[in-house]
Amino acid sequence: MIDEILRVLPSYISLEIQRINNTQNLNEIRLRARQKVILKCVNQEIVLENIVTTKTILDILLNVSKNSIYAIQSDINNGFVIIRGGHRVGICGEVVYVDGKIKNVKNISSLNIRVARQVYGCADVVLSEIVKRGKVLNTLIVSPPGCGKTTLIRDIIRQISNGVDVLNLKGKNVSLIDERGEIASVYNGVPCLDVGIRTDVMSNVNKSEGMKMMIRSMAPDVIATDEIGKKEDIVAIKEAVLSGVNVLFTMHGDSIKSILKNPNVKELLDLDIFSKIIILSSGKVPGIVEKIYDTKDLGG
């Protein structure tokens, strides 16, 4: 699973990582100039011995770009690069603005390599709640960062795209707007992770524009995307629902009360756009469902 990551790391780091017995639970590799490498696993943080240098970071970027930093410049300006296998390399450094737009990120001092991981079947626990009489209910998944909402929505998309016989659900055409390439882990335009046989993925586009484009061009049964909340997202969501498309989204939060603080999302709830809200636990183990709300029971 992490072979593609090990290939872009210097040998002294990759060899040290391979000596760790817990790589199957590895979620992130944090590299900071003049600091030790830190591995973040599901239930553990491991600090390696070797010190990262600025040259180490440059060498990794050269490996990622296949010796052509220019080729990945637009990705660098967006703050991350997707490598083969769908793994995401986050970038931190000194931002250069020209005419109010990000022109470059120079003096890069930190990298965060996030391991793309498929967890087949993790949506089983919620599917019977969000699929009724062969129809996908409009659903919002809520959790703090790093608590499994992207992994969960990926498996929901995969299953509703393929169809679920036990729930009498025939496969649906799913339009996935993967703005940051995290859900499908898009590399060179092709999803590296399994999002189902009837899923069309549009990446590197803002969610509101992507939703409009997908409705016009792909005739979806279901639209899915990650981390809604902006005003323009809400306008596009309302248009999608009025078009007869079912919706599946995530957002940051830890409770019903927390999401109601976002006036744009509150507007959707007031309009009864969502039928189900899934709250994930903020505990140490990601992907644990804390509560599933039927919105008709929430009251005003």
Write out the DSSP string of 257-276.
Answer: HHHTTSHHHHHHHHTT--SE
Q: What is the pLDDT of residues 123-147, one digit of tens each?
A: 999 999 999 999 999 999 999 887 8
* Predicted confidence (pLDDT) at residue 70 exceeds the cutoff of 90: no
* Predicted confidence (pLDDT) at residue 20 exceeds the cutoff of 90: no
* Predicted confidence (pLDDT) at residue 22 exceeds the cutoff of 80: no
Domains along the sequence of the chain with CATH: 3-114 (3.30.450.90), 124-297 (3.40.50.300)
Predicted TM-score (pTM) of the model is 0.87
Averaged pLDDT for residues 269-298: 87
Averaged pLDDT for residues 206-228: 94
Please state, in angstroms and rounded to a whole number, the distance separating the CA atoms of residues 160 and 221.
10
Q: Hey, what are 28's tokens?
A: 């992130």
More confident residue, 175 or 82: 175
* Predicted confidence (pLDDT) at residue 300 exceeds the cutoff of 70: no
pLDDT at 148: 87
* Predicted confidence (pLDDT) at residue 89 exceeds the cutoff of 70: yes
* Predicted confidence (pLDDT) at residue 33 exceeds the cutoff of 90: yes
Contact 226, 180 (CB under 8 A): yes
The strand pairing partners of 202, in sequence order, are: 177
More confident residue, 217 or 24: 217
Write out the DSSP string of the chain.
Answer: --HHHHHHS-HHHHHHHHT-TTGGGEEEEEEETTSEEEEEESS-EEEEEEEP-HHHHHHHHHHHTTS-GGGGHHHHHHTEEE-TTS-EEEEEEEEEEETTEEEEEEEEEEEEEEPP---TTTTHHHHHHHEETTEEPPEEEEE-TTSSHHHHHHHHHHHHHH-BGGGTB----EEEEETTS-SS-EETTEESS---TTEEEEESS-HHHHHHHHHHHH--SEEEES---SHHHHHHHHHHHHTT-EEEEEEE-SSHHHHTTSHHHHHHHHTT--SEEEEE--SSSTT-EEEEEEGGGT--
The strand pairing partners of 115, in sequence order, are: none
Determine what percent of the chain is predicted with pLDDT higher than 90: 65
pLDDT at 128: 95
* Predicted confidence (pLDDT) at residue 294 exceeds the cutoff of 70: yes
pLDDT at 170: 96
The single residue listed with the structure tokens 């005739």 is 219
Picking from 79-83, 85-89, 273-277, 293-297, which range would have the lowest pLDDT averaged per residue? 293-297
* Predicted confidence (pLDDT) at residue 61 exceeds the cutoff of 70: yes
pLDDT at 299: 60
* Predicted confidence (pLDDT) at residue 295 exceeds the cutoff of 90: no
Please state, in angstroms and rounded to a whole number, the distance separating the CA atoms of residues 23 and 244.
44
* Distant-in-sequence, close-in-space partners of 256: CB < 8 Å, separation ≥ 6: 277, 279, 293, 298
* Predicted confidence (pLDDT) at residue 286 exceeds the cutoff of 80: no
